[in-house]
Structure formats: C-alpha cells, structure tokens
C-alpha cells in the first residue's frame, strides 16, 4: 500500500468564496480534513470550508493546548507547543501511513506565518507534500480597505506587532509601504511606532477582513487600546504613478 | 439606468486552478471582461481565466503601448503610459456608463503592484468598485518552492529589483525574510545585494511559479545573468519554532 499525501491547503482570509478552485478540489478528494482550533471551538479554517465538506470526510481537529497566547520565551509554553505539534504530526502521520491523503487547512496562505509550517517541517521528510497557496490575510485586508498598496519601486515591509517598539520604528523608517500584523494587545505599541515614523496619518486599521463582522477605518478613528488577533494596520505606498 | 460596477479581479499567479471561487462567479456574471496584454499577445491574465469565459462575454483587451519596459524616468515613456491608462479608463467607463459591469482581470492580487491600480484610482470616484483579492505571485512562488517563509516574529521585506544596489543592501540588512521581485535584467544586481548581505546561500530562485514552465532552484545554481519578468528570489526567515 502506498503512503498518503499531505496537502497544505490555504483557505484564504475568511470569506468562503475566497477559497481557490484548487483548494475545493483537493478538499473534495481528500478522505481526511485536518485543521487547527482552539479547545472547544470549531476553528476558523474549518468554518471557512464548511460548504465543501461532505459527511464522508474524516475530520481531524487539532486543538491548541492553551486558549490564550502566552509569551514564547516562557519555557512551559514553548514545551507545550512542541508537544502539541509532535502529537498533531503523529495524528496526521497515522492517516498518511494508512494510505489516506490528508488536507491540512490553513487560514490565509499555508507558508506565511501559519501553524501548518510546524507540521510541514516535521512530516516532509517522510511523506510527499503538496502546497496549495491561498489568498493571504494581507491581501484580504487591503482588498477590504480598497487600498492600493504598492506602486512602481515601492518596497513593502510586513512586521509582527510583537516586535519591540525600537525595532518597529527602525524597520518602518525604511519602508515605503507597511503592514503590521498580530496586533491584539500589541496595538498601542504599533500605533506609537507609526506616529513616531510619521506614518500614522495615512494608516488604515482593518479588523476581520472579508469576514461577516469586518471593520475598516482610518487608524486615527480607532480610539480604544486593544484589537482582535485578526486585525492589522496598513500603510499604503506612495510610489510613482503616471 | 444604473451605472455598471467595476470589479478588480485577482486571478492568481498562473495556475488556472488558483483562481478563487469568487473570481469565477464574478467573471461569469460580468458581461464585460477586460485585461491588460502586450500588443499582439493574448495576455497572461486572459489565459488564466480561459476556461471561465463564455462566448457571450464582451472581451476588452487593453494593449500596452510598448512591448519592452523602458525606464520610468524617461518622459516619453511616462507620457505614453499616462495616455494608455487614460484611454483604457475611458474604454472601461464607456461600458460602465452603459450599465454593464466590467471584470478587470489582474494577475496575482489586484492591489499589489498591479496595472489595475492605475485604472482603479481613475475610476473609483465615478463608479462603484469591488475588489476580489487573489493569490499573490509571492505566495505562488514560495508555494512552488515549498519554502516556509515567515516564522514567529520574522519580518518580511518585499523589494523590487529595480532599486539601486545600495538601497537593496540597506533594506535587506534589516530583513528576516525577503522577496526580490521584478528581476528581469536587474537579476545580477539583486544577486550582488544578497551576496553582500550574507543571504545568498539560503536564497531560492523561482521562475514562472505555478505555470507550466515553472522552475525552482537554489540561487547558487542560477548561473546566467538574466531572468524573465515572472521570476523572483526568496530568502526564507529563520525565526523561532518550538
């Protein structure tokens, strides 16, 4: 019996219609559909592909060991994550060893800040893997905002808001266009960095892009101090245009 | 009679299956499908959606005024482009004024270095516009390479190879992960910058990702001095992973 193939399937930023035709085909053909989720929740990626699942699918939810994200430098947290990825990899490997293809869902694109990557590097030596690129969360965000991001020779810098303030400022200072991701409780720091760099005025805040409860506003209008995980700040480029 | 709506439709990096479900629906419903192309050619975006077009579609090709890209600082080139975008905008506006929706195709994502943006800013005041995000060329490239790009707190810097050498070096020096786009005849400069920054060794060269003639190789194995327009260099991040 031949081994199953692992598919890393990007399912896009949230709108179920922003799944690719290839993703729908791969999901339809795979006997097993795996996805990450918080304990007790269905998981965003699973929700996005709901209309493409059939009763015959074997669903393999991979529940994160904790409900709120702790700091990565905390050793028990890091160890718990390591164990989680090892166990998740083993659960998927059991299906692949049994000859069953597995479609592992990933919000946005699978190789851009995705949990999928942690299983990819653990399984790619033993099994064949096919990547199905997806519409990334950043494209979803600037599409929702209707913001043309990069013109001509503009560079684009993508930064996680988890970086220290000085690092954010140092890197924004060299950017023509920028995206700050992973806002959450780091939102005030991201705003402070943009103010320092003179980029706050043209910045746009986008929350849950392409989802039902999407919100878009100038950064200046976002007055509270916190933001959900699925939010980001866009700073459009101002490069050449004829 | 009400005005038509303009759709900026991302059609992905090249593989026709990497079109989103939303793009196929929008194209099917729009009476007019517009796309950019070199004179005498069908155009890549038009080729990608071939299977989704019907005989009833009105096709509106927008032919670039020159076949090879000149330098933007050349005034006659810039003026020719300006005229081209004005005329293209007028051709689309004529359909919208006539009440016909227009799906304007864009390779990759429409708001990320796309010709679409030049018509978007010319038409958005007069007409309603809906953006349909697409799988960007960069996601197609790292998917084809099977390269996990950004981990944990990694920043990602996206640079056009058209920048001067010193600028490329200065910006790469602050990047955890990087993509250099628009290679073409700028390829040797991009490689020189990566060598200078100590990033060449882990860099990957990707040509025509997700298309029939795709090629992926370590940058070190790319020995000639030129590259096609649809090529880029990826430098994967090395951030934290449990």
Each residue's pLDDT tens digit, A104-131 = 999 999 999 989 999 999 999 999 999 9
Q: Which residues of A touch B131 (CB under 8 A)?
A: 143-144, 146
Are A240 and B149 a contacting pair at CB < 8 A?
A: no
In this prediction, does ipTM exceed 0.85?
A: yes
- Looking at residue A224, its pLDDT comes to 87
- Looking at residue B209, its pLDDT comes to 96
- Looking at residue A229, its pLDDT comes to 83
User: Which residue of chain B has the CA closest to A81?
Assistant: B242
Contact A199, A190 (CB under 8 A): no
- Looking at residue A70, its pLDDT comes to 59
**DSSP letters of A165-210?**
HHHHHHHHTT-SEEEEE--GGGHHHHHHHHHHTT-STT-EEEESTT
Least confident stretch, A63-72, B130-139, B165-174, B195-204: A63-72
Which pLDDT band holds residue A74 (cuts at 50, 70, 90)?
A: confident
> Residues 34-63, chain B: which have Cβ within 8 Å of A?
none
Estimate the share of chain B in helix, then strand, then coil, as percent rounded to the nearest 5: 35, 20, 45
Q: Which residues of A touch B150 (CB under 8 A)?
A: 112-113, 158
Mean pLDDT of B101-107: 98
Q: Which of B165, B169, B162 is nearest to B197 (CA)?
A: B169
Which pLDDT band holds residue A96 (cuts at 50, 70, 90)?
A: very high
Q: Which of B151, B173, B211, B239 is nearest to B11 (CA)?
A: B211
Give tens-digit pLDDT for B206-222.
999 999 999 999 999 99
Give tens-digit pLDDT for A80-95.
999 999 999 999 999 9
Mean pLDDT of B110-118: 94
Percent with pLDDT over 90 in chain B: 86
| Strand A6-10 with A215-218, pairing | unpaired
Distance CA A168, CA A227 (A): 18
Work out the minimum CA distance from A224 to partner chain B, whole angstroms. Answer: 24
Predicted confidence (pLDDT) at residue B202 exceeds the cutoff of 60: yes
Distance CA B75, CA B71 (A): 9
Predicted confidence (pLDDT) at residue B67 exceeds the cutoff of 60: no
Q: Which residues of B touch A158 (CB under 8 A)?
A: 150, 155-158
- Looking at residue B72, its pLDDT comes to 64
- Looking at residue A19, its pLDDT comes to 98
Predicted confidence (pLDDT) at residue B70 exceeds the cutoff of 70: no
Angle, nearest 10°, between helix axes A187-196 and A165-172? 40
- Looking at residue B224, its pLDDT comes to 87
Q: What is the mean pLDDT of chain A?
A: 94
Q: Which residues of B touch A117 (CB under 8 A)?
A: 148, 151, 241
Which pLDDT band holds residue B69 (cuts at 50, 70, 90)?
A: low
Give tens-digit pLDDT for A13-45.
999 999 999 999 999 999 999 999 998 888 999
Q: What is the mean pLDDT of chain B?
A: 94
Question: Which one of B146, B158, B174 has the shortest CB-CB distance to A129?
Answer: B146
């Amino acid at each position: 019996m031949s081994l199953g193939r692992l598919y890393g399937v990007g399912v896009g930023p949230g709108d179920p219609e922003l799944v690719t035709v290839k993703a729908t085909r791969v999901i339809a053909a795979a006997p097993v559909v795996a996805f990450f989720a918080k304990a007790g929740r269905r998981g965003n990626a699973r929700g996005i592909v709901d209309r493409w699942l059939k009763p015959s699918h074997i669903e393999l939810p991979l529940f994160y060991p904790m409900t709120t994200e702790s700091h990565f430098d905390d050793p028990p947290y890091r160890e718990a994550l390591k164990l989680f990825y090892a166990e998740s990899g083993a659960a998927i490997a059991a299906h692949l060893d049994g000859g069953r293809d597995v479609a592992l869902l990933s919000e946005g694109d699978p190789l851009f800040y995705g949990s999928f990557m942690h299983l990819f590097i653990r399984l790619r030596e033993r099994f064949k893997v096919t990547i199905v690129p997806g519409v990334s969360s950043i494209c979803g965000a600037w599409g929702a905002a209707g913001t043309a991001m990069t013109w001509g020779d503009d560079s684009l810098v993508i930064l996680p808001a988890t970086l220290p303030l000085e690092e954010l400022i140092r890197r924004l200072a060299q950017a023509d266009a920028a995206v700050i991701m992973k806002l959450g409780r780091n939102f005030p720091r991201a705003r402070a960095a943009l103010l320092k760099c003179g980029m706050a005025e043209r910045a746009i805040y986008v929350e849950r892009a392409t989802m039902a409860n999407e919100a878009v506003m100038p950064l200046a209008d976002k007055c509270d101090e916190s933001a959900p995980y699925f939010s980001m700040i866009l700073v459009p480029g101002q490069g050449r245009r004829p």
